[in-house]
Structure 1
């Protein structure tokens, strides 16, 4: 048998191997961020690249892990989640960015998401409106513990996943969601959480604040602070990468103990 015949086939959308992936994955929006996170891994190598989907594998503190990008928006992200699951991943943590919707949340702070408002543009076609988008409790607790260990400023609560990045002529329900205590807005997490629930996976989200989303939080100069390329955001993402990877390590230790 040739070496080519021994290698697993590639999945059609992401071009990752169709089997044999580690159980744990971090997913990010930006392909460049996937590369930056992969630099934290021992033995990192690129194992797939197609469209917005760039995937690496390696180890963190001895735990095999995948880092993969899903691009912008829920529908395309679900394509990645599906192929990761098909290839062997059972736990997925989204490491992304978000806009703040509550006072007291600073640029670079981390949001540990407990659940997400399902305004993602894709799960409405998968499950009834009443179906929740909730993080797996073990993932939430692992992220929280890792954030505390690294002294990362974090906030734990609900986020709003919205399909449209820019507003149109329709008025956004920003104020009602603020009154309900929603902490931040982003674009993919609820799609992950619903996909995970439908497929027996564990999932959660660690989101770095890259600006202000709510008008009532804007300062007197009218500056929302949205610029994802600022150093405070880069520092927050770097810190969050370590937090998320250590959360994976914690989950792996618990899994190993449960199987012992």
Structure 2
């Protein structure tokens, strides 16, 4: 596949029926996406994602949701932008799952809160602090937001193979960029507890703050799907550094991780096991 042409499709009577072929918000059907999908927030990031693929085709663009499908190192892969925050990200997961997607990797930017983390480093999420409210609509508040360990393993392997600096650990996801992340609001407004928020998270060894990961991880866990998250550090709240640097590292690492997951799935099938484990090897067939 190649090019960026949006295919003509019929939209006269879009339906909210979850069983409809074309999904209400994303305007995609089962033939539009691969089984593994990258989830950046910004629709403008789609072009940066597909630039590192073998080929791609734009499949849909409706509201904040823009979807493209192609291949990376020969493995099928898709990308759908989610917009900002948990509510719109959850819609993307819901509708992508309905058309057959089983693996989700959030690709984004974040603020780091540990001093040893540099701008441009990658953060691979192992679990999430559910400060966003979207996942509360699905499950009790003490249900954990956990990344699928196969996705974490693939992201770590991809970062190692590419030689990128990375960190693994717990991510906090908030619903607010300002008050919910301990920043002052309009005219210096301070939300209750905001002054202590970052210090408390830092003391608990939380690595970074962003706005979508915990909702995506929670929904995927509930539905028995695979999900993970990888973000580039744009700001370090501890050191005061801020630069939009290293975005393509997260994109390339996530794309390679999808390829590695496909190889891992092949090895599992050959070994007759359902889950990846330390006794299996990816040494062959990756080049």
Give the structure-2-normalised TM-score: 0.80
Which residues in structure 2 correspond to 1:48-197 (within 5 Å)?
Answer: 48-167=60-179, 168-172=190-194, 173-197=197-221
User: Which residue number in structure 2 is paired with residue 29 of structure 1?
Assistant: 41
Q: Residue 209 in 1 paired to residue 233 in 2?
A: yes
Unaligned runs of 5+ in 2: 1-7, 11-19, 180-189, 271-287
Q: Which residue of 1 aligns with 2:241?
A: 225
Contact 1:112 1:154 (C-alpha < 8 Å) held by counterparts = yes
CA distance in 2, matches of 1:49, 1:20: 12
Q: Distance in 1 between the 2:132 and 2:218 partners?
A: 11
Contact 1:27 1:92 in 2 (8 A): yes
Q: For the Cα contact (< 8 Å) 2:117–2:236, is it kept in 1?
A: no
User: Which consecutive segments of 4 or more residues in structure 1 shift more than 6 A?
Assistant: none
Aligned residues between the structures: 242
C-alpha deviation, 1:20, in angstroms: 5.8
CA contact (8 A) 2:32 2:69 kept: no
Deviations 1:49-78 (A, max 9, x none): 111100000001111111110010001110
**3-state SS of 2:217 partner:** helix
Q: How well do the aligned residues superpose, as a CA RMSD in angstroms?
A: 1.7
1:16, distance to aligned residue in structure 2 (A): 1.4
Alpha carbons 1:24, 1:91 under 8 Å: kept: yes
TM superposition score normalised by structure 1: 0.88
